[in-house]
Structure formats: C-alpha cells, structure tokens
Chains A and B, each alone.
Chain A
C-alpha cells in the first residue's frame, strides 16, 4: 500500500473517529473522572477519591435500583425474545401475504410510538379505579388490581409494557432472518418426515442463532438502560418498587445536583453492561471458538 493510499484511508475514517472521540470516548473518560469528585455542576468538581463508590454501598436506594434493573432484564428479555421469535415464525410460515404485512405493521406501531405517550396511555389503562384493564377484568368477576401501586406487581406491569413496546422491533429482525433460511431445508426435512416442531427446533433455531444473539444482546442493553418508561409510568415508585439504575443516575445528577455520585453509578452500570455482554458472548460461542455476531 502506498503512503498516499494509506493517508487517504485515514482521512475516510477521521470524521467518524472524531465523532467517536468527542461524543463517546471523551464523555466516558469525563464520567470516570467525575465519579471520583464531588461535583454539582454548579460548582467545580472537587477530588474526593472513591467516596462516591463507598456512598453507593450505603445508599438504601441503590441496591433496589440494581435489583429492579436485573429483574426487569430477566423478565423482559426472555419474554420479548421468545414472543417475537414465535410470532415471526408464525407470520413467515402462515401469513406471507397482505394479512402478514398488516400484522407486522400493527405489531410495529408500538416501536415507533413515543415512549412518553405510551407510558402515559398505559398508566391510564392500568389505573386501579376506572382503568380500562380493570374494567375489562371486572366483566369476568376479577376484582380491582392495583397494577402500579403494589410493591412487586408494579415492576411486572412496567415489564409488560416494555415487552409490548419492544416486541415489534425484534419481530421484524427475526422475520428478515427467517426469509433467509433456504426453503429447501424445510422441504428436505418434510420429506424425511420431520414434524413442524422438529423443523423449528432443528432448522429454524440454529439458522437464527446469530439473530438471537443480536436480539438478546440488544434487549439486555436496552433493559439495563430503561428510563423513560419508568419515568413516565411510575417515577420509580411507589417507594423503591420500580426505581432503576438509569433513573437513579438521572435523579442524582439532575434533581439532586450530585453529578459526581451520578457518574459513579453510571460507571458501575457501564461495567455491569460490559460484564453481561461478555457473558452473552461466551454463551453464544460455538465450539470452534467463533461467536455469532
């Protein structure tokens, strides 16, 4: 490669590289620095060592935030992954025409809807008194359920909305993946007498493994970053019932003027996401050492 060609290559990547440095890497380094300071934004940061990390251990609301974030992830990611895979498979197998298109569009509507709007509408729907869901359950003789006001149930309610909102996005990804699975494989399996479940188990699932890796990784990262939905539906309450890590970071930084402490929590979240992503990578690694990406 001539030096001119080499220089030209650098020029091509330089804009993206600069964007990455100034809008990703630099903020990351600054967050790391601020996490060791007492910083309110209104005053200059003062170096306090690891005090913010020590404070986190004593913070009565930080551990619930971690617990809720993890529970939220464990509830939403498997459910939205399985549902989107099953529905995409049903659409690919049985509804390829206009009806399938209508179903896909309908299921995609929540994805493009504003989360603030979605959260607000669901809040009304889940209201204990006069909420449409409780009114509906009332027809079957089921008493009023305090969806957003019970300590354990409120997080589950938030998870239900998350699954409803995210499923359409992953469904479209799965559907695109299913379109790439050669039809000849299914035909051959059919000739060999494989049942539809066996075709799904031994053809569809292995063929979609790289997509499943993507869906689970994206779903996990989104779940760890959950904020706007909780913010609009419950504000993290009642008490600590639905407080999440990003909501805690936001409240500490912007409501309580403790940006240093918020940065420390953000650093912990960052490492948690890295560790979980690494574990997922290990889990999806094939015997030969190659990871589906």
Chain B
C-alpha cells in the first residue's frame, strides 16, 4: 500500500473513531443515568432523557482537578467597565474555594443568548452545577426535572435570614434562592423640567400623568418615552405590565392555564398606552425604534421629563447631573410595577449538590452580597447585609413592597410574552387596535397554556 493510501486509511479511521466516540459517550450517559437516583439522593430524575444528559454533566463536572473538586457556576453580566463580573465573583468565591478545596469555574453568560445557553448546555450535559435563572424561564426546567429544590438543604437559620425566599417557591417547593430582588421599574422624573413646565405636584394617577405630560409637551420638551423598539420582550416590564397591574389586572390566571391579561384591566392598560401615542400625542413616532438604552440616554441628556426605568439606573442618572425624583408607580385602581426576582438554581445533574448548595449559601451571605452590590446596586436580600443601594429607594422596598410584582413562573410563558410583545408593538405602530392586539395575544396564550392543564 502506498503512502497516500495509508494516509487516507489513517484519516478515515480517525474520523470514524471520532464519530463513534461522540455517539458512544451519549449512549453511555443515557444508559448510565436513566432513572437513577443522584449520588446525593436529593431527587429522582423524572425524565429519562434529561437524566441521561444530566448524567453527562456529572461525569464532566464532577471530575477532580488534581485534588480539587470542580464546580461550575453560570452567572449573567451585571458588571461595568470598572468591575467585571467574572473578576468580582472570582474574588468573592476565593475564600470558599480555599476553605473547601474547590475550584469554581465561573462563566458569565451574555443576556443576548441567555436562554439558548442554558437550553443547549443542560440538554447536552454541559450545564453548570449552579445557575442563575429568571422567572420566565424557570418553570420549563422544573417540569423537565432539570432543577432540584433546595428544601432539603434549608436550615431554620436560612429561613430566618433571607427576606424573599417566598419568591423562589414554585409549586410549593423552594426551586430558587433569590439573589436579585429589586431593580424595580419606577417612574423617574426630571425635577427641573417639571418645575419649568409648572407641574407643581408629582402626578399620582393616570389622569394626573397625562395632564403633567401635556404641560411638558406644551413647553417643547419630550414628556415621556417608552422603548417600543427594544428587541427584548422584557421591555414590557416597563411599558405594559405596570399599567396592567395598576388597572388591577394580572398576566395569567392562578394556575397558569389561561391568559388573564385579556380582561378589562389588560385592555384598559393597552388602551392607555395606545392613547399616550395616538390620542394625546405624548410619545413621538420614534418610540417604535427606540431601545431602553436610548430612552435612558434621552433622560440623562435632560430632554425627557418622565422615564420608567430600573432603580439600578438611578446612580447613572445622578452621575449625568440630573436632579431626579421618582414615584413607585402611577395609580389607576391600585399601585403596581415590576420588580425582578431572579434566583440561583441547583442543577439536577450536579454531582456535588451539597457543595453546590454550600456555594449558594456562601454567595448569598452578607459579605459576598455586599461585594456584589458594590458592582450591581440592588437592595439586600437578607438580614445579614446592610442596605447599600441608593438611600432614595430604601422605602420603596419596605413601605411599597405590596406594589412590587414579579412575573409569574408559568411554563410556556416565554412564548406568550414574545407573542404579546409583538402584538403590542403592532398596536403602537398603528397596525392593530388595542382590543385586536389583546385578543390575538390571548388566543395564542390560551392555546399555549392549555398544555399546563
């Protein structure tokens, strides 16, 4: 056999071996993991397919790096140019690593591909031991058995310490340990513009708000912008859901099997947003292409009177020289606005659950959270941390707690929000009437949520 043929045979063999090895490892994982109880006995896998793939996580993640155990942590980006998340979390977890002889591999997952990273990572056996999830995504993973509840690990001391454990309880179990509860969407206002426009009292009701905006508009300044051109459906946390809650409505029914935003309140909220643009002319044509960042930039430049924005932006507005005030929420029937309640979750495939839970507890401890909040200004989540956020918001998370709503953890909600957002965008474009937008969205939602019955 000449050299060419030998080379050809060699490469063919290598390729075939690679392909077979790829198939083989999956088969092995599936065979080994299906239906088995995890090594630490917390959960029996409900789903054989997932058990197979998560077993692969165990085999890869559980490998010892020398004498050190390796844990994988996936977190979202909250860092700025001054303090990058990976560095901050690395510093926070250093004592934990030394104390427990652990190497924590930290990966910061960009928001832009957050959902697919978890989806592909966990389903392919390359997921983390501990992840960070927001409410819209958590239920799909619970239903698939990909997340293990913390109930067996929680002590009385934990229960007494954490403020918001209830926000991580889904289907009666503690599936999430809230780490970021805050970033409430409040109505910032520019004091100088309101004074110049002769708005003497800060508006409380929708009617007051429209009247104040009209005065600002008459003065030639921009009264109010909503980022209806933002690519993220999360924009509804500022642009629609607060008005829905203020009108006394809710997004889904109690058991998450049907849309509730198609009631009187939902329609009233949509009509209000529609009227701000088309009836009162308070929002310009450009809102249909504006992102949240662009709206914030307008507020920072001192051209915008009102801005629905997360409390975490208050610091930036101050640095831009804006003399701002805020109100928690406007009021129709009641007060209501969005607040984030994102949680750390324990991935079922983790081979080191005890250690992973220990890491979660360490991350949520007062000293760790103090360092985290120096980078990302959020209110404390437990009694063992002092308040470090802007003092202006301290009363918000105390006295106005009842006005703060989190998104319900409902399976399939991501698809429903996507659809609702597109329909509401069409409404703001003038392509649909409010009742059409709400009806179309509700029809889709009811068809999607019927799977939860």
Contacts and interface: CB of A to CB of B under 8 A. Distances in A.
Interface string A222-259: 00000000000011111111010000000110111110
Given A11-B12, A14-B12, A149-B287, A44 B429 contact: no
Given A237-B229, A238-B229, A42 B425 contact: no
Interface residues of B, number: 51
A18 B19 contact: yes
Contact of B119 (A11, A128, A254): A254
Nearest to A60: B440
A278 to B, nearest CB: 32
A288 B396 CA distance: 80
A42 B429 contact: no
A149 B140 contact: no
Contact of B289 (A41, A148, A243): A148
Contacts of A141: none
Interface string B333-375: 0000000000000000000000000000000000000000000
Contacts of A257: 119, 140, 414-415
Contacts of A254: 113, 115-116, 119-120
Q: How large is the interface on A (under 10, 10 to 19, 20 to 34, 35 or more residues)?
A: 35 or more
Q: Which of A41, A240, A251: most chain B CB closer than 10 A? A: A41
B228 interface: yes
Interface in B277-301: 285-290, 294, 298
Interface stretch (B45-53, B59-67, B236-244, B249-257): B45-53
B286 A128 contact: yes
B428 to A, nearest CB: 7
A237 B419 CA distance: 11
B289 A154 contact: yes
A31 to B, nearest CB: 16
Given A18-B12, A148-B229, 16 more contacts: A8-B8, A22-B19, A42-B144, A44-B47, A61-B422, A146-B286, A146-B288, A149-B229, A149-B286, A151-B431, A235-B230, A237-B425, A238-B229, A239-B426, A255-B414, A257-B140
Interface of A: 8, 11-12, 14-15, 18-19, 22, 40-44, 60-61, 127-129, 144, 146-151, 154, 234-241, 243, 251-252, 254-258
25 contacts: A8-B5, A11-B8, A11-B9, A14-B8, A15-B11, A15-B12, A15-B15, A18-B12, A18-B15, A22-B19, A128-B286, A144-B286, A146-B289, A149-B287, A149-B288, A149-B289, A151-B431, A235-B232, A237-B422, A238-B229, A238-B429, A241-B429, A255-B418, A256-B412, A258-B415
